[in-house]
Amino acid sequence: MVSRIKDIDERAFIAQLASVFGRGKDELKVPAGDDDCAVLEFGGEYLVVTTDMLHQRTDFPDTMTPWQIGWMAAAVNFSDIAAMGGQPLGLLAAVGYPQNMSLEDSREIARGMRDCAEFCETSVIGGDVDSHEELTITGTALGRVSKEELLTRKGAKPGDLVCVTGTLGAAGAALKAYLKNMDIDSDFMKPLLEPVPRIAEGRMLAKSGAVTSAMDTSDGLALSLYDLASVNEVGFVLRKELLPVDRRVFEIASSKQEALELALYSGGDFELLVTIPRKSFKALQTESYLTVVGETVDIDADINLIGKDKTNFAITRKGYLHIGASEQI
């Protein structure tokens, strides 16, 4: 019997908590646990809001500079705003500092947050300071989006194209290089240490009116596909030759199979995964940031990857989980 935090699957745990919290008041359009952000109706439009806790041991590798730590703590939250099609309104940051941290490092963390917020056309609007044995940062990002433009996880239908922004696996490749102590330069590490929130892309997708479902890929493409499949009761077929695997993955992977695994299962990419009906896709097909990777199918077809030679294998439900029995690669 599952009775402790360490034994439960993260998604199942969130579902348990969400059932305690309930549906909320009328103004709450998307409740806890259902999407990348909570959605509140406010002043005729939607307010989207999200929070993320990061801490030293799990989230800040030794090579990370204080500036990168601040950037990261902001970026993971703005990525959730991007996934809802939101225009950022601000970031709050509650930081638990180790007593011995230098003030200069604490200011560098603040500058990293500020710079990421400015990249997202907003600012750090508040926060809390605390002392903590382990450096711990909880960011909260707010955004606004008109009712017509809100992107959510729910809405994908069989036949919809599956698309991703950017490339796949760059953060996973960097993590592998770091863990294996490989000789790489700092640019190689950037996708892992300085993820770029896809705010501009999220806004363009939201304005297009073409997107039926959206989320970010922070826990890996495979887990995100499973999340969308579960919410929408659909399956997915991805085409191997269409995957925009990052060039860094090929530099670091010891086999084609490993490259594919990094692209599918490693976390930290913070790209957007969206579904778009075929007939609506025309309006977006010239957009360089977007790559079609496959198609939404019936739920009975599960989640599969098809090769050029028609080989077909199942994409499994693994990736980055913060709680419980994670199968991180």
Min CB(266)–a second copy separation in Å: 19
If the CB atoms of residues 136 and 266 are measured against a second copy, the closer one turns out to be: 136
Chain position carrying tokens 């999200």? 50
105 labelled binding-site residue: no
If the CB atoms of residues 82 and 164 are measured against a second copy, the closer one turns out to be: 82
If the CB atoms of residues 80 and 261 are measured against a second copy, the closer one turns out to be: 80
Query: In whole angstroms, how far apart are CA 56 and each of 96, 97, 138, 178?
Result: 11, 10, 12, 16
50 labelled binding-site residue: yes
59 labelled binding-site residue: yes
216 labelled binding-site residue: yes
Q: Quick one: which of 2, 182, 283, 299 contacts a second copy (CB under 8 A)?
A: 2
d(CA 236, CA 38): 26
Q: Which of residues 131-160 bind a second copy (CB under 8 A)?
A: 131-134, 136, 138, 140, 142, 144
CB contact at 8 A, 153 and 80:
no
The span of 101-109, 194-202, 270-278, 283-291 binding a second copy (CB under 8 A) equals 101-109
How many binding residues for a second copy (CB under 8 A)?
80
Strand ranges across the sheet with 28-30:
28-30, 38-42, 45-55, 136-145, 87-97, 124-131
Does residue 98 interact with a second copy by CB under 8 A? yes
144 labelled binding-site residue: no
Q: Quick one: which of 127, 158, 244, 277 contacts a second copy (CB under 8 A)?
A: 127
User: Which DSSP helix (H) or strand (E) runs through 130?
Assistant: strand 124-131
Rg (CA), the chain: 19
User: Which DSSP helix (H) or strand (E) runs through 292?
Assistant: strand 290-298
Q: Which of residues 5-34 bind a second copy (CB under 8 A)?
A: 5-6, 8, 10, 13-14, 16-17, 20-25, 27-28, 31-33
Q: Which of residues 289-328 bind a second copy (CB under 8 A)?
A: 322-323
160 labelled binding-site residue: no
If the CB atoms of residues 44 and 279 are measured against a second copy, the closer one turns out to be: 44
If the CB atoms of residues 88 and 235 are measured against a second copy, the closer one turns out to be: 88
Min CB(219)–a second copy separation in Å: 12
Pairing of strands 290-298, 234-239: antiparallel
130 labelled binding-site residue: no
128 labelled binding-site residue: yes
Short-list 132, 306, 135, 147, CA closest to 236:
306
d(CA 38, CA 15): 15
316 labelled binding-site residue: no
Amino acid residing at 74 = A
If the CB atoms of residues 6 and 279 are measured against a second copy, the closer one turns out to be: 6
CB contact at 8 A, 116 and 83:
no
Return the bridge partners of 13, or none: none
Phi, psi of 111, deg, nearest 5: -65, -35
Short-list 136, 134, 159, CA closest to 236:
159
Give the pair of three-digit tokens for residue 309.
């030679």
Binding track, positions 66-95, relative to a second copy; x by CB under 8 A: -----------------------xx-xxxx
DSSP string, 37-56: SEEEEETTEEEEEEEEEEEH
153 labelled binding-site residue: yes
Min CB(161)–a second copy separation in Å: 29
Binding site for substrate: residue ranges?
Answer: 59, 320
Binding site for ATP: residue ranges?
Answer: 127-128, 153, 218
Binding site: residue ranges?
Answer: 36, 50-52, 59, 80, 127-128, 153, 216, 218-219, 320
